[in-house]
Structure 1
Amino acid sequence: MPQTGYVLSGLITAAIIFLGARFWAAPGAASVGFGIAGSPPSSTGFAAWLSVKGTRDIASGLFVILLMTNGSPRLLGEFMFVASLIAFADMVTVLRSRGNRALAFGMHGLTGLAIVATGACLVLGAK
């Protein structure tokens, strides 16, 4: 079961680093894809805030890589449980802004559940 957790952790990591890079490379498109209603039009200030978000996404992915290479499956799993709060908070943020409900539940909510399942594989499979 830990092997499954490590594979899922790697996939989640690749996705979050890709999304973080997208907020740097194409902030307007990334903003629309996030699902928040009424996102302001692209401006220098808004693009800068999106770069901040992108940096945090990339760093989150690097934390997972660090734990995958140096930590225990249990520690990685516990980290994943905590990290799932980011996806669930993103879901609530999109819903509170009256954003795209399909993106809120389908992307952010399901991502949160996938992260929880990954954490469970790692914690339950740890010795």
Structure 2
Amino acid sequence: MPTAATAAATVITWAIAIGIIFVGSRMMWAPQAAADFGIPGTRTEDPATRAWLAVLGGRDIGYGLFLLIALIGGDTHLRGWMMLAGSLVTLADALITKLSGGPAKAYYGIHGGTTVVMAAAGAVLLLS
């Protein structure tokens, strides 16, 4: 029987999966929204930048789908490993944003916060 912590971590995993698919979709179909994710001077009208954002969007959609697959067909430990792996992606995003001169609210709040939540949920799922 799952504990309350396991159930909460599973709900968080669902929210992250759906959220990252949404974020990835926005990067692909509304690239101007990407400017809010922390890289200053993002020129979304530039074709090269749009291509870069499409790659990021595709990555996010793909990772969200991997999480959904783990949620639907995997066990609790697989979900935990997937969340821990994803937390490394969001940690990299935080570092890239910081090193690119992005605002603290983006690298600590958006990317850093997501990293902490994903790592915590992953740990709970692994220990369940």
TM-score, normalization: structure 2?
0.91
SS in 1 for 2:13: helix
Deviation at 1:52, TM superposition (A): 1.1
Specify every segment of 5 or more residues in structure 2 that has no aligned partner in the other structure, as ranges. none
Question: Is residue 120 of structure 1 aligned with residue 123 of structure 2?
Answer: yes
Cα displacement (A) at 1:103: 1.1
Say whether the 8 Å CA contact 1:84–1:116 is kept in structure 2. yes
1:11 and 2:15 equivalent?
A: yes
Q: Match of 1:51?
A: 54
> Residue 47 of structure 1 aligns to which amino acid in structure 2?
R
The gaps in structure 1 that reach 5 residues or longer are none
Partner residue, 1:111 = 114
Is this contact kept in 1: 2:39–2:102, CA < 8 A?
Answer: yes
User: Per-residue deviation at 1:40?
Assistant: 3.2
CA deviations on 1:70-106 (whole Å, 9 max, x unpaired) are 1110111011111101111111111101111111101
Q: What is the Cα deviation at residue 41 of structure 1?
A: 4.7
Q: Is the 8 A contact 2:31 2:44 kept in 1?
A: no
Correspondent of 2:69 among 66, 71, 75: 66
Identity %: 36
Kept after mapping to 1: 8 A contact 2:42/2:49:
no
Letter in 2 for 1:124: L
Structure 2 counterpart of 1:105, one-letter code:
Y
RMSD over aligned Cα atoms: 1.2
Larger RCO: Structure 1 or Structure 2 (Cα < 8 Å, ≥ 6 residues apart)? 1
Q: 2:92 matched to which residue of 1?
A: 89
Aligned twin of 1:79? 82
Separation in 2 of the partners of 1:61 and 1:85?
14
Q: Using a 3 Å threshold, how does the CA distance of structure 1 residues 41 and 6 change in structure 2: closer, same or farther?
A: closer
